[in-house]
Amino acid sequence: MSLVNDMLRDLEQRRAAPGERLRLDGLHAVDETGAARRVHLAWLLRGLWCLAALVLLGLLAVLLGRQLGAAAPLAPVAPAPVVTEPAAAQLLDVLPQHDSRGLVLQLPLSRSVPYRRTEESGAVSLSLTGVQWSGEAQHGRIQRDGRSLSWDVEAKGDAVQVLLVGLGDQLEVRDRLEPAGDRWLLWIEVPLNAPLVQAAAAPEMDDLPLAEPASAGQEAPLPAWVAAPLGAAAEAPRKPAAAAVAANAKAEAEAEADAEAMAERRASRAEVKIAPYQPDALTLARQALLDADHPRAIRLLEELQRQRGDDAEVLRWLARAYLADGQQQRLLSWLPAQLQRLPQDSELRVLLARSQLQAADAKGAVATLEQYAPPLVQEANYYALLAASYQQTGQWQQSAALYRQMIELRPSQATWQLGLAIALEQLDRPGEAANHYRLALQGQGLDDSARRFVGERAAALGGQR
């Protein structure tokens, strides 16, 4: 086609004679560019038709699939279950509390957990499996007639272990796990059948009645138990000195054995120590104080203080000896300096406050007790003295508020109910006061004269509202 077109164009350009054009008569040159364009356009149209056909087929397939799905729906496929590990239980705190009646450990937990109890001679162990404890190990020790009870709470791997050692065959441990709101609480109680050693020299404040309320505008009288001699509570017949020392030596030997048993179980290894025991100077001083031989007790304790410096136990016994011997001014001038070195020793603060109350310095006693006050749940008797001191300074609102907090911990404590009733009566709330007088009669801790007074006040206020 290209050759013929070339010949025709050549004839036209040369304007050839008609004789030369006879061979190609009737032929004309073709537009090759236009022809190629038309061919390309044809192929393009054909491609577009094919693409449209494919899109149409796809749409038809989708519509057909939807119709089939509506006619016969497929069963949904259940998702695979997600397995989650339960969160480990947490030990939130360790709350110890002890008084003359025994030891109570409260262990708040994030949820209920199983635990295993193991008993041996003079020891009880509770193992809480699957419990985490991020706090430091907690330890404590109390004494009863020279015999000791030691307790220990610490984390061991994926468990928490509670260990109680002491008191020999008299060790009795009661435990129970019970719900407490959105948490659980493990109670561990160890009753003591006899008063603590310290109770003989420093009687429990919550076992002693308060004074009668003062008339309006008058200062409240000092409670009798504050002014009583420190050693007056020990009224048991005294043993001969040699027998007392021997009995105390035996008790101290048992206490040392209990401490060694606790150390052995902590280290998980057997170790036996046999050594002759001789009572030390502190033991002799304590026995002298119990025998009301105050000068000898003071001599021994002052010598121990020179040797041991800031030994808190020696300082506590020396303060008790000064108070028992009536050396009030000496105690008031000596004890504040000791508290500057040991500001958080709550027992030294109580002894200083008692001495200040006996010296008619009620404001000083309040200031002493308000500093570095321990947690109420651990030392409620500390706050009992503070509440009584508030009544000596006429701070009846503060006294009533403290007694309410203490009663929440121990509603059956009659002396606290009595203290609250006295404060409410001074605040001119006779109806509430009468109610707490009646609750005091139902509680424990009042002697006969206090009960008579409480009954009279309850009857006198019963009709007032």
Sorted by where each begins, the domain ranges of the chain are: 2-68, 89-191, 206-222+360-465, 241-342
Closest Cα to residue 406, out of 375, 380, 438, 387? Answer: 380
User: Given this model, what pLDDT does residue 176 score?
Assistant: 82
User: Given this model, what pLDDT does residue 426 score?
Assistant: 94
Question: In degrees rounded to 5, what are phi and psi of residue 43?
Answer: -65, -40
> 252-303: per-residue pLDDT in tens?
566 566 666 666 655 543 443 444 445 678 888 888 888 889 999 999 999 9
Mean per-residue pLDDT, 236-245: 44
Q: Which architecture characterizes domain 206-222+360-465 according to CATH? A: Alpha Horseshoe (1.25)
> 152-208: per-residue pLDDT in tens?
898 887 888 898 887 766 778 888 887 776 788 888 888 876 443 333 333 344 433
DSSP-derived secondary structure for 250-278: HHHHHHHHHHHHHHHHHHTS---------
Question: CA 205 to CA 199: how far, in whole Å?
Answer: 10
Question: Are 378 and 344 contacting, i.e. CB atoms less than 8 angstroms apart?
Answer: no
Closest Cα to residue 161, out of 119, 115, 120, 121? Answer: 115
User: Given this model, what pLDDT does residue 196 score?
Assistant: 38
User: Given this model, what pLDDT does residue 368 score?
Assistant: 94
What are the strands, taking DSSP E only, across 79-122? Answer: 89-90, 95-99, 102-109, 115-120
Give the side-chain half-sphere CA count within 13 A for 287: 22
User: Given this model, what pLDDT does residue 138 score?
Assistant: 85
pTM here is 0.46
Burial class (CB in 10 A: 0-12, 13-18, 19+), 120: exposed
Question: CA 154 to CA 140: how far, in whole Å?
Answer: 12
What are the strands, taking DSSP E only, across 31-101? Answer: 89-90, 95-99
Question: CA 319 to CA 336: how far, in whole Å?
Answer: 11
More confident residue, 413 or 86: 413
> 330-340: per-residue pLDDT in tens?
999 999 999 99
At 322, the pLDDT band (50, 70, 90 cuts) reads: very high
Mean per-residue pLDDT, 408-431: 92
Please determine, for residue 49, whether its predicted confidence score (pLDDT) is greater than 80. Answer: no
Please give the single-letter amino acid code of residue 294.
H
Question: CA 66 to CA 317: how far, in whole Å?
Answer: 94
User: Given this model, what pLDDT does residue 397 score?
Assistant: 96
Question: Are 201 and 351 contacting, i.e. CB atoms less than 8 angstroms apart?
Answer: no
Closest Cα to residue 286, out of 274, 297, 273? Answer: 297
154-168, 238-252, 299-313, 354-368: the lowest-pLDDT one: 238-252
Please determine, for residue 110, whether its predicted confidence score (pLDDT) is greater than 90. Answer: no
Q: Which architecture characterizes domain 241-342 according to CATH? A: Alpha Horseshoe (1.25)
At 2, the pLDDT band (50, 70, 90 cuts) reads: low
| H helix or E strand, kind and range, residue 71 | helix 32-71
Residues 6+ apart with CB under 8 A from 255: 143, 146, 147, 148, 166
More confident residue, 44 or 332: 332
User: Given this model, what pLDDT does residue 320 score?
Assistant: 92
Question: Are 297 and 288 contacting, i.e. CB atoms less than 8 angstroms apart?
Answer: yes
433 alpha-carbon distance from chain centroid: 33
Residue with tokens 């504040």: 336
User: Maximum CA pair distance of the chain?
Assistant: 171
Same fold, 206-222+360-465 and 241-342: yes
Please determine, for residue 210, whether its predicted confidence score (pLDDT) is greater than 80. Answer: no
Compute CA distances 207 → 323, 350, 356, whole Å. 19, 16, 21
- Could you tell me whether strands 115-120 and 123-129 are parallel, antiparallel, or unpaired per DSSP bridges? antiparallel
User: Given this model, what pLDDT does residue 327 score?
Assistant: 92
Q: Under DSSP, is residue 48 helix (H, G, I), strand (E, B) or coil?
A: helix
Beta bridge partners of 89: 131
Task: Count CB neighbours of 283 within 10 A.
Answer: 18
What tokens appear for 279 in the block?
A: 């009572």
Q: What is the mean pLDDT of the chain?
A: 75
**Domain 89-191 is found in CATH 1.10.3720.10:** no
> 111-168: per-residue pLDDT in tens?
888 888 887 766 888 888 888 888 888 888 777 665 677 888 988 878 888 988 877 6
Mean per-residue pLDDT, 353-364: 93
User: Given this model, what pLDDT does residue 295 score?
Assistant: 93
Question: Are 425 and 445 contacting, i.e. CB atoms less than 8 angstroms apart?
Answer: no
49-53, 244-248, 315-319: the lowest-pLDDT one: 244-248
Please determine, for residue 5, whether its predicted confidence score (pLDDT) is greater than 90. Answer: no
More confident residue, 341 or 14: 341
DSSP-derived secondary structure for 160-229: EEEEEEESGGG---EEEEEEETTEEEEEEEEE-SS--HHHHHS--GGGSPPPPPPPTTSPPPPPHHHHS-
Sign of CA dihedral 244, 246, 248, 251: negative
Question: CA 365 to CA 227: how far, in whole Å?
Answer: 14
